[in-house]
Each structure stands twice: as structure tokens, then as C-alpha cells.
Amino acid sequence: MKPYVYITRKLSEETIKELTENFEVKMWDHEDLPAPREVLMNEAKRASALITMLSDKVDEELLTAGENLKIVSNLAVGFDNIDLETATKRGIIVTNTPDVLTETTADLTWALLMSAARRIVEAAEYVKAGKWEGWSPYLLAGHDVYGKIIGIVGMGKIGEAVARRAKGFGMEILYHNRTRKTEAEIELGAVYSTFDELVAKSDYVVTLAPLTAETRNLFTADVFAKMKNSAIFINAGRGPVMDEQALYEALKNGEIAGAGLDVFEKEPISADHPLLQLPNVTAIPHIGSASTETRTTMIKLCCSNVKAVLNGDSPKTIVNKQVL
């Protein structure tokens, strides 16, 4: 019998052709909604390979049920949805999709920053609502970006790509990271800062940090209180690094000027979410890497990793290399 591959979202047949030509493949029949837990558990019991999304909880229970499971191929750079320790103990390879989405996600982060700074969404809705009756000096006045200070928390490849864009806008670049990035300091003039220094000095605080025990709930009420009243907070990394209630209070009380959010603590969020009731919040539905070109490349990389493992070869982008 051919190895069985289960995919937790509906993908185009063209993008998974590499798998359907070689293995038995089944997909969940919805593009947007995740496979229910009971479905995923049942499929894991049979599957040799899973292609999962960041919103799929691949925990110890699921991995233990997957007696035939050889690989979990995650359609994301991050893999905090996967119990990596259990996967490694059970000899299950975990792969992700790094590098291929760096520039696309940096584009989106920059668009979010610009939109929040210049109140683009708010202004567009103002026009559509028929409120535009004439010109006035401070009508929907936002904040300058050029020449300001940007603080990047999480200076990985995406952070460096955002910094390159900031350099083009003549911005002073501060960054905070677990390790110093000397090449970025030389190439971009980026300055390493402590976390407290960064949040106090920056006009734009951009977090691209991965979700770890150290970064969970990193942005608290105390942190927002240290920011400039004119500061704008951008989160295009992981939702749980911020305390949403604290952010709401900081925005509502004028402790900071605005926020641009691509991610949230629990996704998806509903239309009555408190942050969505604030006019100084630009919110989008976790679309950091969502360009047609990049998502297609990510899917094909997932498929390539699965094919390699099921054929007894090494995958291109393995997370837990100790399994090999």
C-alpha cells in the first residue's frame, strides 16, 4: 500500500501534485476552517505524513496516536503549535518553511506600519461612509515615518528585511534580540538595545519575535506605559507575546498612539473583540506571508519535505535534526 498523507486544509491540486502522483493523499474539505479535533485525531492514526497549519494543535496526544507517523510538515516558519519534544522522542521529523516567506512578510509588516501610522484603513472607511465633506488641516492626520526611530524586537531574517526597508526611510534602527547581529549593525547601522531602552526610545515598536517561554506575554501594561505617547505598536509575529487587555487599555487611555496587528492571542477573533472597537487599531487576519507566490512556494516546500521523508531521504528544512 502507498503511504498515506493527510493535509489539514484544502489546497489546490496543482500545488500538491508531487504528492498525489506518489502517495495516497486526502485533504480536509475547507480552505479556511481547520479540521475538527476528532477528524485530525482519526487521520493521524492512519497517516504516515501530516501537512499542518500553524492553527493545528499537534500535541502529545495526537503524536502518540500517530503510530505510523514519520513527518509533520508545518506550513509556517514557526512551529510552536507542535510538541517538538514528543515528536523527537517518537522519531517523528518536523519540518517548517523558513526563508521563502521572509521578504513577503517584511512587505506586509511594513504595509501594516504605514497603514497604522497614516490611518489608511480609517481614512478609507471615512470616505466610503460618505463622511468626507471637505478639506481641513488636521483631517485624519497621522504620524510621519521618515526619519523616525524604529525598534525591532526579534531580529531574525524577517526583522532584518524590515530594517532594510526602514533604512530606505531614513529611520534610526534599534533592535533587541537574543544574539547580536553584527552584520546588520554594519550593513544597516542597526543599534543593539536592551528591551527597556528600545521601547522607551522608539516611535515604532515592531515585534517579530517567535513565541517562546521567554517571549510569551512580553508586552505587558508596564511595557506599554514605558512607550512614548506618540508610539505605534506593530505585531506581525505571534499574538501571545502581547497582553491584549493591557494593549487595549494603553490605546484607550492614550498611553500609546496606535497599533497595527496581524496576530492575536487566540485566532480567529470575533467582530466584537475589544481591540476592533478602537479607531486607532489596524487589524488584519494573520496574512503575513499571504501572497499567491509565497504561499504556493510554501506549500510546495511542505510537499517536497514529505516526499523526501517517505522516500527515505532527508527533507530540506528539518527542525529537529537530531531525529535523522
Separation of alpha carbons 310 and 22, rounded Å: 10
- Is 286 an active-site residue? yes
Residue 46: all three cell numbers together: 492512519
Separation of alpha carbons 324 and 321, rounded Å: 6
Residue 146: all three cell numbers together: 521618515
Q: Which residues have a Cβ under 8 Å from the Cβ of 239 and sit 6 or more positions away?
A: 261, 263, 264, 265, 266, 267
- Is 238 an active-site residue? yes
Q: How many CB atoms lie within 10 A of CB 60?
A: 13
238, 244, 255, 295: the catalytic one is 238
What is the residue-wise DSSP string for 154-207?
Answer: --SHHHHHHHHHHHHTT-EEEEE-SS--HHHHHHH--EE--HHHHHHH-SEEEE
3-class secondary-structure state, position 43: helix
**Residue labelled with grid coordinates 512551529:** 79
Separation of alpha carbons 156 and 178, rounded Å: 10
Give the closest residue to 193 by CA, choosing from 162, 149, 235. 149
9, 119, 176, 286: the catalytic one is 286
Question: Which residues are catalytic, by number?
Answer: 238, 267, 286
